[in-house]
Chains A and B, each alone.
Chain A
């Protein structure tokens, strides 16, 4: 049994989960001495009627300061400053963030500005610059993927300076994460697949990368099991409320796991593909996951093998010889991508070359792979990957993932 010589773990977010969890929010705010929240969302969230559901659940018991849904896909400094002014003008005393990663990051940015009574958010970028408790923040995820509701980080872009700033502090953790099945019920099957595979990657990388620790492991294993048992069924039956809630719980579990043990090369390569070709994050995650397991196989075979139990179930774990379990996990990761491809009528991409935008154009041309490989070397997650990754290694994996062929393991340089 693996045990690191030393590790740190922290998650002090209250989790409230259920089919009617939203109704608990007034009580949560009351416990935090707040009663006039600013609700932040994006157009997609309001368009899907999710803010209406939230409002209906809480407005009888609490006054809503304002509802703001003009948050772009990429969190933006100007938007953060604007929303901080709204918060002050309306006399709000808490923030409720409803949405995916961008809304959560924006809410965390707004919270810094209003809590520190600052005019320049960028003064607080980096690690450890926040020294005080912030205003109450309640996070309601509407995708089962990012885990932002339980993470210590926020990324805010200054589009004028073309710069992305990272903020990390335990004070950025929301006070509560509310997981309600109604919030993900309308998520289309393709997005459900993509975001849940993001959560699956969080859990698997948390379990297999350098900063793994026993508490993160426990969260990761449960997350993998819940996603494995529910994802395909929810994609085929989007109205399955129990399945939806299970996926929401799994994404939060995975978020807790990776927030404390970090992620590796799936994110290293995925972030770079996203930055250069604007491919959705979850799509990159699902494509690179089996390749990362193959690439790191010689260093983490025993950890990969242990994943077979939550991923394939007890019967499969028992019937697979010990020395074949890790290979079976890679096979299952590929099979899951294939099953999701079939269940979404081909919208869930299995390889880089088949990712298309709305107009049907290929999003990752092969000639971009060199640029992606070079960019990947600057991603922070590269530190946490079990095996070293240099430019040639990245390019080798990218080429295989583009073609959709398994990695030629004889070419992997083993450290």
Chain B
């Protein structure tokens, strides 16, 4: 047995760091977008107070957790899931699947269709979260890249896209 070297899976540190940063920024952007965009706010209005969802990479992360507090405000709750009740848990099966999604080589729907995304929880709520993430991607990304990440680029006015984008970036960076 000594003749055989133990092979350890590569840690894929660069990809993990990239995904962690993306999740952090998308989480803060969801919080920001819920205060800027009326359609995103409307999606969250239907969720109960205290509702929490998580998006991340199985089995050990990174993750992001987003929730709705008692005042009805949407908040990015960080990367740590421990001690939090997760109502809708969305996990990408591995870091490679997450990398495809977060480098916009694959849309959320395509990722789901290829069995890379596991959703645990209420399906209508998960569908609403996917709609929110799609809208946030439209705000964050240039049209050319966003078109790869979603099934159909929405026909929003330039004002909505540009002003919304500026406000969401501003709020996401400052964290409010």
> Is B114 positioned at the interface, with any CB of A under 8 Å from its CB?
yes
Question: In this assembly, does A415 line the interface, its C-beta being within 8 Å of a C-beta of chain B?
Answer: yes
List of B residues within 8 angstroms of A126 by Cβ:
120-121
Offer 5 A-B interface pairs, CB within 8 angstroms, sorted by A: A4-B114, A6-B115, A211-B115, A383-B108, A383-B109
B153–A415 contact, CB under 8 A?
Answer: yes
Q: A383-B109, A387-B151, A414-B152 are in contact. Are A6 and B114 (CB under 8 A)?
A: yes
Asked if B127 and A378 sit within 8 Å, CB to CB, the answer is yes
A413 to B116, CA, bound (A): 28
Question: Are B127's CB and A383's CB within 8 A?
Answer: yes
Interface size on B, residues (CB 8 A): 25
Contacting pair A210 B113 (CB below 8 A): yes
Residues on B with beta carbons closer than 8 Å to the beta carbon of A377: 124, 127-128, 131
B171 within 8 A of A: no
- CB of A27 closer than 8 Å to a CB of B: no
As a 0/1 sequence over residues 373 to 386 of chain A, the CB contacts with chain B under 8 angstroms (1 = contact) are 00001111011101
Nearest A residue to B120 via CB reads A126
For A384, list chain B residues within 8 Å (CB).
109, 112-113
A211-B123 contact given A388-B150, A388-B151, A413-B155, CB 8 Å threshold: no
Chain B residues with CB under 8 Å of chain A are 108-110, 112-116, 118-121, 123-128, 130-131, 150-153, 155
Which of chain A's residues have a CB closer than 8 A to the CB of B110? Answer: 210
Contact of A413 among B119, B120, B131, B152 (CB under 8 A): B152
Determine if B118 and A262 form an interchain contact, defined as CB atoms under 8 angstroms apart: no
Residues of A within 8 A of B118 (CB): 127-128
Since A210-B109, A380-B126, A384-B112 are in contact, a sample of 17 more A-B pairs with Cβ atoms closer than 8 Å, ordered by chain A residue number, is A4-B113, A7-B114, A126-B120, A126-B121, A127-B120, A377-B131, A378-B124, A378-B125, A382-B127, A383-B130, A387-B151, A387-B152, A388-B150, A388-B152, A415-B150, A415-B151, A415-B153
**What is the 8 Å Cβ interface bit string for chain A, positions 4-15, against chain B (1 contact, 0 not)?**
111110000000
Report chain B residues within 8 Å CB of A380: 123, 126-127
- Min C-beta distance of B108 to chain A, whole Å: 8
CB within 8 Å for A7 and B115 given contacts A127-B120, A383-B127? yes
Is A166 on the interface with B (CB-CB < 8 A)? yes
Within 8 Å by CB of B124, from A127, A379, A415, lies: A379
Closest to B100 in A: A5
Check B113 against A383 for contact (C-beta < 8 Å). Answer: yes
Asked if residues B114 and A5 are in contact (CB atoms below 8 Å), the reply is: yes
Asked if residues A6 and B116 are in contact (CB atoms below 8 Å), the reply is: yes
A residues in contact with B126, CB < 8 Å: 380
B54 shortest CB reach to chain A, Å: 15
Chain A residues within an 8 Å CB radius of B153: 415
Residues of A within 8 A of B (CB): 4-8, 126-128, 166, 209-211, 262, 377-380, 382-384, 386-388, 413-415
- Expressed in whole angstroms, the Cα–Cα distance for A8 and B119 within the complex equals 16
Closest to B109 in A: A383
CB-defined contacts of A379 to chain B, threshold 8 Å: 123-124, 127
Residues in A whose Cβ lies below 8 Å from that of B130: 383
Inside 8 A of A387's CB, which chain B residues have their CB? 151-152
CB distance from A276 to the nearest CB of B (A): 14
State how many angstroms separate the Cβ of B134 from the closest Cβ of chain A: 8
Whether A415 contacts B152 by the Cβ 8 Å rule is yes
Whole-angstrom distance from the CB of B162 to the nearest CB of chain A? 21
CA distance A380 to B128 in the complex (A): 10
The residues of A that contact B121 with a CB separation of less than 8 Å are 126
Give Cα distance in the complex from A94 to B24, angstroms.
Answer: 50
A388 to chain B: which residues have CB within 8 Å? 150-152
Give A175 to B107 CA distance when docked, in angstroms.
35
Bound CA–CA A414/B130 (angstroms): 19
Task: Please measure, in the bound complex, the distance between the C-alpha atom of A387 and the C-alpha atom of B153, giving whole angstroms.
Answer: 11
Contacts of A127 in B (CB 8 A): 118-120
Which of A128, A166, A211, A414 contacts B114 (CB under 8 A)? A211
CA distance A126 to B124 in the complex (A): 14
In whole angstroms, how far apart are the Cα atoms of A126 and B120 in the complex? Answer: 6
CB distance from A81 to the nearest CB of B (A): 23
Cβ contacts under 8 Å, A413 to chain B: 152, 155
Assembly CA distance A207 to B152 (angstroms): 21
CA distance A7 to B153 in the complex (A): 26
Per the bound structure, the CA–CA distance linking A262 and B114 in Å amounts to 11
Say how far B131's CB is from chain A's closest CB, in angstroms.
8
Assembled-state Cα–Cα distance A387/B150 (Å): 10
Q: Please, how many angstroms separate the alpha-carbon atoms of A210 and B111 in the complex?
A: 10
Chain A residue contacts of B113, Cβ below 8 A: 4, 209-211, 262, 383-384
In Å, the complex CA distance between A4 and B109 comes to: 14
Residue of A with least CB distance to B147: A415
Q: Which residue of A lies closest to B39 (CB)?
A: A390
Counting from the closest, the 4 A-B pairs by CB-CB distance are A415-B152, A378-B124, A388-B152, A211-B113
Once bound together, how far apart are the Cα atoms of A388 and B137, in whole Å? 15
CB-defined contacts of B127 to chain A, threshold 8 Å: 377-380, 382-383
